[in-house]
Amino acid sequence: MFELKAQMYFSAAHHLLNYDGACENQHGHNWLVEAYVKGTELDKSNILVDYKEIKKNLKEVLDYLDHKDINELPEFKGISPSSEILSKYIYEQMKKKIPCTNKVSIWETPTSCASYYEE
């Protein structure tokens, strides 16, 4: 089994709903996103997925979120856009573009990370 990882950053604001604490107030993060693809079949160049392809698609997904108030985006109206929810959203968008996407991790700080994958 082969697994590749590409990383990219985006910056955005959000606030958590139904939360009692500082994060209920609007605040921002410079999120680090890691997109993983996994598979067993390599192409004729012995590549699973070209890193350029992973990064291009990840950039398209993250450009939609970048420098936005995430709570105001239609996909997140009325829900708490936690890192867990964002990792799932990015995973689902990447899976549409690169079917062998198998996990997305999103770091809101250097020591706090949420991941989403399906078993």
Among candidates 39, 56, 59, 57, which has minimal Cα distance to 48?
A: 39
Quickly count: other Cβ atoms within 10 Å of residue 22's Cβ.
9
**Close Cβ partners of 46 (under 8 Å, ≥ 6 residues apart):** none
Catalytic residue, chosen from 23, 53, 92, 113, is 23
Catalytic residue, chosen from 29, 34, 100, 108, is 108
Catalytic residue, chosen from 3, 24, 27, 67, is 67
Whether residue 108 lies in the annotated active site? yes
Whether residue 60 lies in the annotated active site? no
Whether residue 23 lies in the annotated active site? yes
List residues with catalytic annotation.
Answer: 23, 67, 108
